[in-house]
Amino acid sequence: MKRKYVPDLTRQMAICEANYMRILKLMPDLDTMDTREFRVSMAEHSAHIRINVVERFTYTATLQITQQSRRSLNWLESPTLVVRLYHDAAMAEVICMKSRKQLSGVYPYPNREMHQPDEKVQLNDFLGEWLSHCLQHGQQVEPVLTF
């Protein structure tokens, strides 16, 4: 008999806390800066990671984080995560993908959208890997000012 998935809340909270700290390292001026872009290169592959502040409130902020590869893949959409920052709890949580509804903490399996039972945890792990990669290998792309 297959066991029902039970979320590990302690692990999930640790992931969200670590992601919050990574975002603050990448965007120390989060209160005033709306966009930050990083170029990440490994071997012959490179990608741009763009962090956009979508909205700011006293206790929360919402970011949209997108990866754009140099190579155009028409059959594969670039990943985009919508991330909610909770400043009072010092946590960053993936709340949805770009074109999807808000994610649930647990999904029955199988389901119509073919989400994994731990889809939200996997996306928060992915966000952590993305942010860590930007911190270790990313180069900030500065906009060119024209006068």
Q: With 70 as the cut, is the pLDDT of residue 40 above it?
A: yes
pLDDT the model gives residue 141: 84
pLDDT of residue 145: 66
Residue 6 amino acid letter: V
- Tell me which residue has tokens 């270790």: 136
d(CA 63, CA 39): 18
- Distance from the first to the final alpha carbon of the chain: 68
Most confident region among 2-16, 32-46, 48-62, 132-146 by mean pLDDT: 48-62
Distance between CA 127 and CA 65 in Å, rounded?
9
pLDDT digits (tens, 9 = 90+) for 61-116: 999 999 887 665 565 677 899 999 999 999 999 998 876 667 777 777 776 776 67
Give the model's pLDDT for residue 17.
98
18-28: average pLDDT: 96
Token code pair at residue 115: 């989400």
Question: To the nearest whole number, what is the mean pLDDT of the chain?
Answer: 85
pLDDT of residue 114: 66
Q: What are the pLDDT digits (tens) for 120-134?
A: 888 999 999 989 989
- State the Cα torsion 43-133-66-36 to the nearest 10°: -110
Q: Within a 13 Å sphere around the CA of 3, how many CA atoms are in the beta-carbon half?
A: 3
Mean pLDDT of all residues in 24-53: 88
Q: What is the largest CA-CA distance in the chain?
A: 68
